């Protein structure tokens, strides 16, 4: 096997997946789903946790609300996660369905 080809393949793999290392609890940023069109907007997230390859995250709406109000943040922290999901404040995605983490 040609080592240069292998090195390029490994470099491409690393470039594509190295962004996943920043997905850690209490980190906020933007990710792009696989299959997204170039004109699609990235998804704002705030990592809650990663379980079995699933990222559970605060949505943009929740992040904005918590940023503007400590009371709202405390309220969200006291509400059951299922209820937060029903109301669009928490969502989840398989890590394999994330194409790129921008920050």
Question: E strand or H helix at 100, and its extent?
Answer: strand 98-101
Q: Contact 18/102 with Cβ under 8 angstroms?
A: no
The CA radius of gyration of the chain, in Å to the nearest whole number, is 17
Structural domain count of the chain: 1
Whole-prediction pTM value? 0.78
3-state secondary structure of 102: coil
The DSSP code for 41 is P
Range of the structural domain that residue 19 is part of: 3-101
The pLDDT profile of the chain, 103 residues, written as one tens digit per residue, is 445 555 565 555 555 555 667 788 888 999 999 899 888 889 999 999 988 889 999 999 999 999 999 999 999 999 999 999 999 999 999 988 988 888 7
Element (H, E) at 79: none
What does the pLDDT read at residue 1? 46
């Amino acid at each position: 096997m040609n080592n240069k080809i292998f090195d390029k393949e490994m470099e491409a793999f690393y470039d594509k997946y190295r962004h996943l290392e920043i997905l850690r609890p209490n980190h906020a940023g933007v990710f792009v789903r696989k299959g997204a069109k170039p004109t699609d907007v990235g998804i704002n997230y705030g990592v809650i946790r990663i379980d079995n390859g699933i990222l559970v995250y605060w949505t943009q709406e929740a992040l904005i609300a918590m940023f503007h109000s400590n009371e709202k943040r405390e309220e969200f922290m006291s509400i059951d996660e299922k209820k937060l999901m029903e109301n669009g404040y928490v969502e989840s995605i398989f890590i394999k369905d994330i194409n790129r983490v921008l920050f």
